[in-house]
Amino acid sequence: GNESCSNSPLQLPRGSTVILEQSSPTPGRGTEKINPTGQKSVSAIQSMMKCNAIPYHFGLYDLDFEADYRCVVLTTILPLDKPSNIANSCMMTMRILSTHDSSATQVHNLFESHTLQKVRNYLSKCRLVGSIALSDRQVCDSAEVEFVKRRKSHVGATSVNPVEEEDLHRWFTLARLEARSRACPFVTVQDWNRALLLDDAMKGSLK
């Protein structure tokens, strides 16, 4: 009533990464059973992911606030041919093979403290790198050629997984991560090639 924003889980610092876990529906708790409050939350999340904005309610009207966050949806319940209830621009299916259960405490005990400190320092250095530029014309040319080549190779009635725009976005994302892993502010051809190899390896593990 005082036209001010109240604290909520969606009021996040700039540059935040939002990780959403899509739980398995249980009897009586499917998406069609979500109450009005839950429906508003899902709608706000979808607006944040599609429009980079979150509507805030001010008495008689809603006002969109900028919400440019990276969103990652994790789920273990969806078959390959069923999309998530939460809209997303890129989907990656991964097969996790584990021979035993583990916990954060167990993993922590696998390494000595000085080794863990080196890992923290490395990750901190990578985070300090700003936006990763795609300024190398050779990278852009290679991306264009590779996209057309792979798209042509998947054309036809027998193609199960056609190459789409989201595949190109994923390759660029992986290339930027490769560059960031070297604390480099720009993508090189080597980063692009390693990104394609990594993507092929991830998809190959699903077969």
Amino acid at 1: G
Establish if 95 belongs to a structural domain: no
Establish if 97 belongs to a structural domain: no
The pLDDT score that the predictor gives to residue 197 is: 93
Is the same domain home to 195 and 128?
A: yes
The encoded tokens of residue 36 equal: 């009005």
Total tally of structural domains belonging to the chain: 2
Per-residue tens of pLDDT for the chain, all 207 residues: 455 545 555 566 667 788 887 765 554 444 456 677 777 777 878 888 888 887 777 777 778 887 777 888 887 765 545 555 666 667 777 776 666 665 555 656 677 888 888 888 888 888 888 788 888 889 989 999 999 998 888 776 466 678 888 888 889 989 999 999 998 989 999 999 999 999 998 888 776
Establish if 21 belongs to a structural domain: yes
The encoded tokens of residue 116 equal: 């863990």
> In 10 A of CB 56, how many CB atoms?
19
The encoded tokens of residue 150 equal: 């792979």
The pLDDT score that the predictor gives to residue 189 is: 93
The encoded tokens of residue 129 equal: 């790198």
Is the same domain home to 72 and 29?
A: yes
The pLDDT score that the predictor gives to residue 112 is: 81
Establish if 98 belongs to a structural domain: no
Strand, coil or helix: 65: strand
Length of the chain equals 207
The pLDDT score that the predictor gives to residue 29 is: 47
Establish if 63 belongs to a structural domain: yes
Domain containing residue 120: 104-155+164-204
Out of 62, 88, 114, pick the residue that ends a domain: 88
The pLDDT score that the predictor gives to residue 1 is: 43
Residue closest to 133 by CA, chosen among 188, 171, 181, 170: 188
C-alpha to C-alpha distance for 51 and 48, rounded to whole angstroms: 6
Is the same domain home to 20 and 66?
A: yes
C-alpha to C-alpha distance for 153 and 119, rounded to whole angstroms: 40
Establish if 128 belongs to a structural domain: yes
Is the same domain home to 77 and 143?
A: no
C-alpha to C-alpha distance for 89 and 170, rounded to whole angstroms: 10
Strand, coil or helix: 54: strand
The pLDDT score that the predictor gives to residue 44 is: 78
Is the same domain home to 114 and 83?
A: no
Is the same domain home to 21 and 47?
A: yes
Residue 49 contacts residue 86 (beta carbons within 8 Å): yes
Is the same domain home to 29 and 79?
A: yes
Establish if 93 belongs to a structural domain: no
> In 10 A of CB 175, how many CB atoms?
27
The encoded tokens of residue 67 equal: 């919400």
Establish if 3 belongs to a structural domain: yes
